[in-house]
Structure 1
Amino acid sequence: MTLVQSGRLRLDDRVVDHLPGFRFGGASHASKVTIRHLLAQTTGLPEPAGFEVTDCFRSGCPSPAERIGALDDVKPLGPPGMRYAYTSANYLVLAAVVEAVTKRPFGDYLRQAVLGPAGMDGAVTDAVSARRRNLPPGHQLLWGIPSAVADGIDDHGASYGYLGGDLGDLAAFASLQLRRGKTVDGGTVLTSDSVRLMREEGRLQPAGTGTGYGLGWRIGGGLEAPLDTAVWHTGATPGYSAMLFLLPQRNIALVLQQNIYGLLHDGAVMEVGFGAVRLLTGGRPPAAQPSASTYYATVWGGQCPGAGDDPGGRALGPAPAPPGRDRRTSPARLRDGGMVRARRVARCGDGVARGVDDPAAGEDVGTRRLPRALRRGDRRRRHRRPPDHARPACRRALALTTSWRRRRRADLGFLEGRREQRGP
């Protein structure tokens, strides 16, 4: 949007005018895709397309422009503007467009145009900045125990997910948004027109059906009141997740980070943030605790007794620990196993963000301690062999939680295992 403001790019520019090698869906389809379609997630790219071009962790990964050829043979969901589907591939293509226009790496331009002015001096955009910030390892649950298994960063992934920082960095970004694009000293990162456009819900053609998505933000997104007017986004990479909620009418925001994430415990991880923001707005969190029944059902070969879903899909409660598991390390007690931090952000009279620990995220929103077995480095307990009846199921779970490290090495070294998060 900063390039649009400066006139170097227009929302209705065709992507092929900046990236002649863009051939998604064939030359005819690709020639109709615009910058606006990419931002609004309405190019026709299906969600799995992201797996083809994202999560490259090896050295010497290709640039965004060098990856888009993998989209040539992807079948579109429909003509541009007619179908909504969130996929990281859209924002990887945007990174290639930015690099073509600026002649600079996307991360470098992002720091100069947005992160620096916003006060996000410690932001992580690549592996080098992650090492400089001593980024802690990400965690995934292995048989119920949070284990440090995620250690990769896509050096060209800042546009679609590998952009991070500490709570101070995220709070600075939230404050910039509450000030509608203005910096603390009165400078402008985003104009009021840009802020308005980004927070307008997209409409599909020809019926005008709302998508729940703006230009980079979820708008309400199907959440119940009082969050139906929230501007928000969530996201995750293997081992990490983050959530940011803007409540412009109340002039407050909430940011939350967790260094634990895996597809099998997606709902439990994300519900921590949704519950926190409900409390912040005076609502009540769900009566049921975040459920890890999906995780248990996969790992232990079937749904655990006492855990399940009601006909409406709502988790009935935390699953009991499987035989032989200590309750303290059960993924149903997710917040005791990972590292969860949350902060409420409010704009003060001088326009400076004020951050306070928010009890909405739990009784103690500081850094959680890992299970005793991990703190003491007890390898026998940490890696103990599962029961005989569970081994086939455990192998299936590993295929979903760790084998993404080994897959897709043949084509550009891409690794599967990342998905953008939706609301409940």
Structure 2
Amino acid sequence: MKTSMRVRLRTAAAGMSALLSVLLVCAPPASAQPDRFGAIDAYIRERMEATHTPGLSYAVVGPDGPIHRRSWGTDGRGDRVTPRTAFLWGSIAKPVTATAVMTLVQSGRLRPDDRVTDHLPEFRFGGAAHAAKVTIRHLLNQTAGLPAAATAKVTDCLDAGCPRPAERVRALDGVRPLGPPGTEYAYTSANYLVLTAVVEAVTKRRYADYLREAVLAPAGMKGAIADAASARARRLAPGHQLLWGVPAAIADGVDDSGAGYGYLGGDLDDLAALASFQLRNARNVLSAESVRLMRQEAKLHNGAGTGAGLGWRIGGLGAPLDGAVWHTGATPGYSAMLFLLPEQNLAIVVQQNLHGLVHDGAIMHVGFGAARLLAGGRPDGAPSASTYYLTVGATTALAVAMLLAAGRSALLLRRPAPPASRLRRTVLTGAWVLAGALPWIIAAPIVVPIGPRQSWTWIPDAFAAICVAATAGAMTVILRLTLAFRSVTTIRPEAKRVSDHRPEPDRLPR
């Protein structure tokens, strides 16, 4: 018996020794992870400084929660950013919405290939014939034929009393499709606004209420923002936008029906919980098959890839992120990024309280660079913010020039009309009218596609400069036409003096 025990002990000791040897050989040095996290910290701080980001939180996440997290800077009220500071996440809402839709699929209340009109009769995008061919799957993978410009018609309604999702869908009636469903990929939040309306129609509940019960609570995201009331409860501070290069906390407001496409948010722990939940393959909420479908790249009818799954971005990034499942997002004044690295069973989440449409690439690059560092690579060169400064600089210079032109025209109107030939007068008037119309010509391709309201929401400084330039330009046109008309109708003094000495017709010699 004692011999048998000794043999067992020796065998166990040998096994433990072998196991320890394997661990010592295969495991990275103790300092490897801290060094990697330190490099990510330094990189993020560098990007914050380069983009003038006021506040940021990020975390490296495993299946059981955050492994490493940091917060820096201040929020829109000037308070220090902590892991409990609330942010908005923008389009990271889309894979969350896709998850909610898949819960309805699993319960049998919805099918991916159901026609949207079966659940939402008011959906008439592209006419009745086109709308009848659009399925839930087309909305999920952004192949319904809705163009990117459709986003402006149904999103970012921040006022009290905004229409519910089903009512907003009617604004898509007159939008021209890019092609038959399944033939063109175009990323637009309009697809997910329609999905929000579908979920409400199927569940007979507000989308935010169903989302909390079906996805947010099971994922451990109990503090998440899903409507205006929860934003107030979490004391969401205004986000920052650049005004002539200076961050300003002016982006305030939440689309009460926007959680399905972009107005979802929460603190760092909520966003980390979402990443952990996805690393666990949405266990207890979705089946393995549902998760597989969501992370499978959708194909167009011609076999071309789209780079999109059901809610997720699939691949599309260079090594070592070629296997990443990811999404980025932004609302006015806020931006966020989530990268799942399935091969390493890790994720990284970043949220910051700055965003602007014109310098989106420079702001978002912090997440891509941090993810590459986590995956063992090196960050690519960051996009330049020069486009933003050129846009704002050019529109501001145009506004100043038009104000000076209008001012000079007003001063000339107070003076007597100088003598001028008809040709010179015509040429000068035409040139000034063209100059006054220039801001309107420039504004058209910038403002018309997204509309004045969206322009003010997303590019406030450039839009303000364009408005000033357009107003001053219109004044210049009016004043210059008035000057031209006056010069035509006013008798020149020389001509008047000659006419005063002419004899009257009845006194002329006969």
TM-score normalised to structure 1 length: 0.71
After the TM superposition, which residues 121-200 of structure 1 pair with which residues of structure 2 at under 5 Å, given as runs?
121-182=222-283, 188-200=284-296
User: What's the counterpart of residue 332 of structure 2?
Assistant: 238
User: What's the counterpart of residue 211 of structure 1?
Assistant: 306
Task: Note the residue ranges of structure 1 that are not aligned, 5 or more in a row.
Answer: 183-187, 303-385, 419-424
Q: What secondary structure, in the 3-state scheme, does the structure 2 residue paired with 1:300 have?
A: helix
Q: What secondary structure, in the 3-state scheme, does the structure 1 residue paired with 2:250 have?
A: strand
CA apart distance, 1:393: 10
User: What's the counterpart of residue 417 of structure 1?
Assistant: 458
1:6 aligns with 2:101: no
1:253 aligns with 2:347: yes
User: What's the counterpart of residue 227 of structure 1?
Assistant: 321
Q: Pick from 338, 361, 370 the counterpart of residue 267 of structure 1.
A: 361
CA apart distance, 1:159: 0.3
CA apart distance, 1:126: 1.2
- Answer whether contact 1:141 1:147 (CA < 8 A) is retained: yes
Residues 319-349 of structure 1: per-residue CA shift (max 9 Å, x gap)? xxxxxxxxxxxxxxxxxxxxxxxxxxxxxxx
Distance in 1 (CA, whole Å) between partners of 2:193 and 2:296 is 22
Residues 93-136 of structure 1: per-residue CA shift (max 9 Å, x gap)? 00100000000000000000000111101100111111111112
- Answer whether contact 1:299 1:393 (CA < 8 A) is retained: no
Q: What secondary structure, in the 3-state scheme, does the structure 2 residue paired with 1:176 have?
A: helix
Amino acid at match of 2:317: L
- Answer whether contact 1:56 1:414 (CA < 8 A) is retained: no
Distance in 2 (CA, whole Å) between partners of 1:158 and 1:75 is 26
1:280 aligns with 2:381: no
Distance change >3 Å, CA 393–CA 121, structure 1 → 2? farther
- Answer whether contact 1:123 1:166 (CA < 8 A) is retained: yes
After the TM superposition, which residues 23-422 of structure 1 pair with which residues of structure 2 at under 5 Å, given as runs?
23-182=124-283, 188-205=284-301, 207-220=302-315, 222-286=316-380, 288-301=381-394, 391=400, 417=458
Q: What secondary structure, in the 3-state scheme, does the structure 2 residue paired with 1:118 have?
A: coil
Residues 225-247 of structure 1: per-residue CA shift (max 9 Å, x gap)? 11111000011111011110001
Amino acid at match of 1:291: S
- Answer whether contact 1:181 1:190 (CA < 8 A) is retained: yes
CA apart distance, 1:295: 1.1
- Answer whether contact 1:55 1:414 (CA < 8 A) is retained: no
Residues 359-378 of structure 1: per-residue CA shift (max 9 Å, x gap)? xxxxxxxxxxxxxxxxxxxx
Distance in 2 (CA, whole Å) between partners of 1:414 and 1:260 is 17
Q: What secondary structure, in the 3-state scheme, does the structure 2 residue paired with 1:263 have?
A: coil
Distance in 1 (CA, whole Å) between partners of 2:369 and 2:452 is 36
Distance change >3 Å, CA 84–CA 416, structure 1 → 2? farther
- Answer whether contact 2:152 2:451 (CA < 8 A) is retained: no
Distance in 1 (CA, whole Å) between partners of 2:268 and 2:168 is 32
Amino acid at match of 1:244: L
Residues 191-240 of structure 1: per-residue CA shift (max 9 Å, x gap)? 111100000000000x21110000000000x2101111100001111101
CA apart distance, 1:408: 5.6
- Answer whether contact 1:51 1:416 (CA < 8 A) is retained: no
User: What's the counterpart of residue 340 of structure 1?
Assistant: none
TM-score normalised to structure 2 length: 0.59
Query: If you compute each CA radius of gyration, which structure gives the higher value, 1 or 2?
Result: 2
1:19 aligns with 2:125: no
Q: What secondary structure, in the 3-state scheme, does the structure 1 residue paired with 2:394 have?
A: coil
Distance in 2 (CA, whole Å) between partners of 1:144 and 1:392 is 20
- Answer whether contact 1:49 1:71 (CA < 8 A) is retained: yes
- Answer whether contact 1:299 1:390 (CA < 8 A) is retained: no
- Higher relative contact order (CA closer than 8 Å, sequence separation 6+): 2
Distance in 2 (CA, whole Å) between partners of 1:389 and 1:103 is 52
Amino acid at match of 2:297: E
- Answer whether contact 2:332 2:457 (CA < 8 A) is retained: no
Distance in 1 (CA, whole Å) between partners of 2:138 and 2:222 is 31
Task: Note the residue ranges of structure 2 that are not aligned, 5 or more in a row.
Answer: 1-101, 404-438, 460-510
Amino acid at match of 1:211: T
Distance change >3 Å, CA 69–CA 284, structure 1 → 2? same
User: What's the counterpart of residue 310 of structure 1?
Assistant: none
Distance change >3 Å, CA 251–CA 71, structure 1 → 2? same
Amino acid at match of 2:376: G
Distance in 1 (CA, whole Å) between partners of 2:402 and 2:246 is 16
Residues 361-398 of structure 1: per-residue CA shift (max 9 Å, x gap)? xxxxxxxxxxxxxxxxxxxxxxxxx8x7884699x9xx
Distance in 1 (CA, whole Å) between partners of 2:353 and 2:137 is 32
Matched positions, count? 317
Residues 151-198 of structure 1: per-residue CA shift (max 9 Å, x gap)? 01100000000001111001101101100112xxxxx11111110000
Q: State the identity %.
A: 69
Amino acid at match of 1:301: A
Distance change >3 Å, CA 51–CA 407, structure 1 → 2? closer
